[in-house]
């Protein structure tokens, strides 16, 4: 049996030039990202690819994204592994297009990459600058059309906002607001796993027979066990996704640093889904 590895990094929240680290981080988020890449370098098996699932820069500008482009290009050369990125709610689309992609700005950044007999879909769940995630009709139609072309071909989805699952009951106000729409589209193909971030703690759950895996943040951890008050601590982690030749999936959550001090408290008034009229 030949295993394939995919590395998922999420919520790096790199500090924009001239600003302080977000959420009162004590350790520099660039140093935390360096810890992650140093740990990846120790893995003997070469990953198929690395994906950073959003919140790349904490509300940065084009110069910040250009700097990130340089860092990731260097890491691609060093590791011999392609690195893909997608956007989160703290990213700024226009700055990303100008600084990272160096292309004309589009409303959404999504694409598909086919590797070793499977399709990998990188989706854009951002909606303006609001916290919640939402997948527009254009992306859902695009995904459905692609899945229908080869409905039995194994596929994975990577996105920033997770679908609300059993372990995210208190987070429905913040996650993907139209997860049911995505799941309906997924039934048209052979989606094996959905990988996301956003909530800053790792968890896994199954919906409609699809593994949903949420990665720990590279920048800071959020304890969301208290329904109406969440606690932030410095932390750094990432995920190693293992796929067998039969598309059996396993996820290892790698923790490189776990601070015990609460560096910020977040008050949460309501925890249910928001009114979609706010988005529409």
User: Which string of DSSP letters, residue by residue, matches 125-189?
Assistant: ---TT-SSB---HHHHHHHHHHHHHSTTSEEEEE-SSPPP-GGGGGGTTTSBTTHHHHHHHHTTT
Q: Write out pLDDT tens, residues 219-260.
A: 999 999 999 999 999 999 999 999 998 889 999 999 999 999
pLDDT of residue 247: 87
In whole angstroms, give the CA distance from residue 221 to residue 263: 10
In whole angstroms, give the CA distance from residue 103 to residue 101: 5
Place of tokens 């297009």: 97
**Tokens representing residue 131 in the block:** 């916290």
pLDDT at 150 over 60: yes
**Tokens representing residue 12 in the block:** 């790096």
- What region, left, alpha or beta, does residue 87 occupy, with left being phi > 0 and alpha being psi -120 to 50 degrees? beta
Beta strands in the chain (DSSP E): 4-9, 14-15, 49-53, 57-58, 83-86, 111-115, 118-122, 154-158, 190-196, 203-207, 210-214, 220-223, 229-243, 249-258, 264-267
Average confidence (pLDDT) over 178-185: 98
Place of tokens 């910040």: 64
Q: Write out pLDDT tens, residues 202-221.
A: 999 999 999 999 999 999 99
**Tokens representing residue 181 in the block:** 């729409």
In whole angstroms, give the CA distance from residue 69 to residue 62: 10
Query: What are the residue boundaries of the structural domains of the chain, listed by start?
Result: 4-278
**Between 128 and 110, the higher pLDDT residue:** 110
Q: Which residues, listed in sequence order, are joined to residue 205 by a DSSP beta bridge?
A: 212
Q: Write out pLDDT tens, residues 264-274.
A: 999 999 999 99
Give me the CATH code for the 4-278 domain, please.
3.60.21.10
Q: Write out pLDDT tens, residues 59-102.
A: 999 999 999 999 999 999 999 999 999 999 999 999 999 999 99
Average confidence (pLDDT) over 171-195: 97
Mean pLDDT of the residues in the chain: 96
Average confidence (pLDDT) over 174-191: 98
pLDDT of residue 277: 81
pLDDT of residue 276: 83
E strand or H helix at 253, and its extent? strand 249-258
Degrees, nearest 5: CA angle 82-244-165: 85
Degrees, nearest 5: CA angle 219-222-227: 165
DSSP 15: E
pLDDT of residue 271: 94
pLDDT at 278 over 90: no
pLDDT at 151 over 60: yes
Average confidence (pLDDT) over 157-164: 98
């Amino acid at each position: 049996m030949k295993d394939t590895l995919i590395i998922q990094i999420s919520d790096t929240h790199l500090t924009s030039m001239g600003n302080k680290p977000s959420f009162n981080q004590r350790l520099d988020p660039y140093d935390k990202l360096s810890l992650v890449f140093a740990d990846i370098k120790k893995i003997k098996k070469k990953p198929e690819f690395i994906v950073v699932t959003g919140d790349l820069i904490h509300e940065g500008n084009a110069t910040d994204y250009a700097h990130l482009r340089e860092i990731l290009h260097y890491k691609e050369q060093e590791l011999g592994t392609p690195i893909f990125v997608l956007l989160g709610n703290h990213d700024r689309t226009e700055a990303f297009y100008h600084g990272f992609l160096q292309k004309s700005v589009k409303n959404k950044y999504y694409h598909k990459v086919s590797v070793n007999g499977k399709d990998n879909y990188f989706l854009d769940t951002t909606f303006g600058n609001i916290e919640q995630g939402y997948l527009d009709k254009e992306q859902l139609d695009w995904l459905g059309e692609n899945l229908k072309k080869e409905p039995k071909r194994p596929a994975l989805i990577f996105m920033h906002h997770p679908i609300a699952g059993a372990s995210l009951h208190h987070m429905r106000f913040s996650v993907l607001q139209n997860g049911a729409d995505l799941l309906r589209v997924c039934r048209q193909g052979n989606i094996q796993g959905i990988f996301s971030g956003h909530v800053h703690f790792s968890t896994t759950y199954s919906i409609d027979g699809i593994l949903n895996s949420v990665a720990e943040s590279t920048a800071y951890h959020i304890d969301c066990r208290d329904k109406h008050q969440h606690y932030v601590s410095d932390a750094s982690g990432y995920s190693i996704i293992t796929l067998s030749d039969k598309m059996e999936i396993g996820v290892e959550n790698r923790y490189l640093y776990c601070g015990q001090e609460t560096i910020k408290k977040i008050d949460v008034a309501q925890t249910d889904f928001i009114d979609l009229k706010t988005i529409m």
